[in-house]
Amino acid sequence: MTLSLFSDEHYMREALKQARYALEEDEIPIGAVVVLERQIIARAHNQTEQLRDVTAHAEMLALTAAANHVGNKYLADCTLYVTIEPCVMCAGASFWAQVRRVVYGAAEEKRGFRRYGNLLHPRTELVSGILGAECGALMSEFFARKRK
């Protein structure tokens, strides 16, 4: 299967690479990338354990890096790709950044923002299920290791 360089699947595969870095570091395997004009401007993975910071989610780190890249707190022309449905904190951050699109892989039934309604900016487009099985499998692998 060939992927278009500018497809949602392509960018989600880049987010999956970040999630694998998190898995290697024994962090919850969530990865994120921010795309502007078909170019990845920020990449991040969960680092809450390494940084000892409960806010060091992949999305938060990627949004901060993207804002630094563009020199503006608003990311109205950007798309955030994240392997797992964002939590309330990360959805709120994307709201304040006015991200144009949020694309995620697998749903997060327990802690995902959608349990609480739509917390995204009214102009934000939401796309879900992109490579969802692969994204969810990393989470399952991580928690299976923890239970051993």
pLDDT at residue 10, rounded to an integer: 96
Known catalytic membership, residue 59: yes
Residue 29 lies in a domain: yes
Residue 55 lies in a domain: yes
**pLDDT per residue as tens digits for the range 50-78:** 999 999 999 999 999 999 999 999 999 99
Q: Say which amino acid occupies 4.
A: S
The structure's pTM equals: 0.94
User: Tokens 């998190």 map to which residue?
Assistant: 22
- Quick one: tokens of 15? 């987010």
Instruction: Tell me the C-alpha distance between 58 and 82, whole Å.
Output: 8
Residue 115 lies in a domain: yes
Binding residue per annotation — 78?
no
Residue 69 lies in a domain: yes
Tens of each residue's pLDDT in the chain, 148 residues:
556 668 999 999 999 999 999 999 999 999 999 999 999 999 999 999 999 999 999 999 999 999 999 999 999 999 999 999 999 999 999 999 999 999 999 999 999 999 999 999 999 999 999 999 999 999 999 988 878 7
Residue 94 lies in a domain: yes
**How many domains is the chain partitioned into structurally?**
1
From the list 24, 25, 49, 59, the catalytic residue is: 59
Determine the straight-line distance between the first and last CA of the chain, rounded to whole angstroms: 35
Instruction: Tell me the C-alpha distance between 59 and 82, whole Å.
Output: 7
User: What range does the domain containing 12 cover?
Assistant: 8-147
Binding residue per annotation — 87?
yes
Residue 36 lies in a domain: yes
CATH number at residue 141: 3.40.140.10
Residue 88 lies in a domain: yes
Residue 3 lies in a domain: no
**Sequence-separated (6 or more) residues with CB below 8 Å from residue 21:** 31, 45
Instruction: Tell me the C-alpha distance between 8 and 119, whole Å.
Output: 22
